Amino acid sequence: MAPTDPGTTRDQPTPPVSSDPTAPADSTSLDPTPADAFDALYVGLATALFRQTYLLTGRRDLAKESVERAFEQAWQRWPEVAVDRDPAGWVRAAAYEYAMSPWHRLRRAHRRPDPQSAADTDSGALLDALLDLPPAYRRTLLLHDGVGLGLPDTAAETEASTAAAAGRLVTARAAVAERLPASTTPLSPDEESALLHEQLGTIALAQPVAALLTPHAVRTSSENKARLWTQAAIALTAVLIGLAAVTMVTAPPRYETPPSPAEQVGGVPPRGGPQRLTTQDLEMQRKLDDELVHGPARLVPEVR
Indicate whether 137 and 171 sit together in one domain: yes
pLDDT tens across the length of the chain (304 residues): 334 444 444 443 333 223 333 344 444 446 779 999 999 999 999 999 999 999 998 888 899 999 999 999 999 999 999 999 999 999 999 999 999 888 877 776 656 666 665 445 567 788 888 888 999 999 999 999 888 889 999 999 999 999 999 999 999 988 888 877 766 566 677 777 788 888 888 888 887 787 888 989 999 999 999 999 999 999 999 999 999 999 888 888 888 888 888 888 777 777 776 778 888 888 888 887 776 555 555 566 666 6
The Cα-based distances of 106 to 68, 109, 138 in angstroms read 20, 9, 21
Asked if residue 40 lies in contact with residue 115, where contact means CB atoms within 8 angstroms, the answer is no
Domain with 123, as residue range(s), is 116-210
Indicate whether 42 and 83 sit together in one domain: yes
Asked if the structure places residue 66 within a domain, the reply is: yes
Indicate whether 159 and 201 sit together in one domain: yes
The Cα-based distances of 31 to 67, 76, 151, 216, 256 in angstroms read 28, 21, 37, 19, 70
Indicate whether 138 and 206 sit together in one domain: yes
Give residue 294's pLDDT. Answer: 56
pTM confidence score: 0.67
Indicate whether 69 and 218 sit together in one domain: yes
**Distance from C-alpha of 245 to C-alpha of 250, rounded to nearest angstrom:** 9
280 burial level (CB within 10 Å; 0-12, 13-18, 19+): exposed
Asked if the structure places residue 121 within a domain, the reply is: yes
Give residue 6's pLDDT. Answer: 40
Structural domains in the chain (count): 2
Indicate whether 39 and 162 sit together in one domain: no
Asked if the structure places residue 297 within a domain, the reply is: no
Q: How many CA atoms lie within 13 A of 116 on its CB side?
A: 18
Indicate whether 62 and 122 sit together in one domain: no
Asked if residue 158 lies in contact with residue 178, where contact means CB atoms within 8 angstroms, the answer is no
User: Please, what is the angle between helix 87-99 and helix 60-76, to 10°?
Assistant: 130
